[in-house]
């Protein structure tokens, strides 16, 4: 049994209210804007995601990022997991990501996390994304028990939950 209904159609363009930003599924072709966004915020991202995901490595190369984005693109097409890029209107800057994954830990049917680049931390844009994501997940995704990791549960508490088989 899949973690999503067979007839589920994932959103392909999600405006962020009150901003000129939007979310869309990430692609391998986004590497030229993803790599500088990730590596420019790498230290803070490692503090958030490092213990759980081992990402982003200090030595991550552009090629490794491109390969990772290709994996995400394939996972999105197969509905295995989703990585949405936060983009400016012209899609010339990647400003963060939203991850929607099948549960790895007990007690949820979807696990959601997100980040913005260092330059947006504390900004109106970050607040808009923080407000949008839970509403979007509730409205457009078929979860009954989504878990917002780093929001309604800390990463440390999430790591302490029992792993699913």
- Average pLDDT estimate for 119-128: 98
Which residue ranges form the domains of the chain, and what is each CATH number?
14-158 (3.40.630.30)
- State residue 165's pLDDT score: 87
- State residue 74's pLDDT score: 98
46-103 confidence digits (pLDDT tens): 999 999 999 999 999 999 999 999 999 999 999 999 999 999 999 999 999 999 999 9
Output DSSP code: residue 141. Answer: S
Q: How many CB atoms lie within 10 A of CB 98?
A: 22
Per the DSSP assignment, residues forming a β-bridge with 96 are 86, 116
**Residues in contact with 63: Cβ distance below 8 Å, sequence separation at least 6, in sequence order:** none
17-59 confidence digits (pLDDT tens): 999 999 999 999 999 999 999 999 999 999 999 999 999 999 9
Cα separation of 25 and 85, whole Å?
6
Cα separation of 88 and 63, whole Å?
24
Phi/psi of residue 128, nearest 5 degrees: -65, -40
- State residue 49's pLDDT score: 95
- Model confidence at 160: pLDDT above 90: yes
Phi/psi of residue 95, nearest 5 degrees: -115, 5
Name the band, by pLDDT with cuts 50, 70 and 90, for residue 144. Answer: very high
Cα separation of 2 and 142, whole Å?
12
pTM for the predicted model, two decimal places: 0.97
- Model confidence at 15: pLDDT above 80: yes
N-to-C CA span, the chain: 14
Name the band, by pLDDT with cuts 50, 70 and 90, for residue 4. Answer: very high
**Residues in contact with 41: Cβ distance below 8 Å, sequence separation at least 6, in sequence order:** 115, 117, 118
Cα separation of 90 and 21, whole Å?
9
- State residue 86's pLDDT score: 98
- State residue 2's pLDDT score: 76
- State residue 45's pLDDT score: 97
- Strand 22-25 to 82-87 pairing: antiparallel
- Model confidence at 1: pLDDT above 60: no
- State residue 154's pLDDT score: 95
Q: Which two tokens stand for residue 92?
A: 């010339």
- Sheet strands (E) in 27-104: 82-87, 94-101
């Amino acid at each position: 049994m899949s973690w999503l209904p067979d007839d589920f159609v994932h959103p392909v363009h999600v405006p962020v209210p009150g901003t000129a930003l939007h979310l869309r599924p990430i692609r391998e072709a986004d590497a030229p804007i993803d790599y500088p966004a990730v590596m420019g915020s790498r230290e803070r991202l490692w503090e958030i995601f490092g213990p759980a995901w081992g990402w982003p490595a200090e030595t991550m190369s552009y090629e490794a990022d491109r390969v990772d984005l290709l994996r995400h693109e394939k996972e999105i097409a197969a509905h295995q997991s989703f990585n949405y890029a936060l983009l400016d209107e012209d899609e010339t800057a990647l400003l963060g990501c939203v991850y929607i994954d099948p549960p790895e830990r007990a007690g949820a049917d979807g696990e959601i996390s997100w980040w913005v680049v260092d330059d947006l931390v504390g900004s109106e844009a970050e607040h808009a994304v923080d407000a949008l994501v839970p509403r979007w997940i509730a409205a457009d995704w078929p979860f009954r028990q989504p878990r917002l990791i780093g929001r309604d549960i800390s990463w440390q508490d999430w790591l302490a939950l029992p792993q699913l088989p």
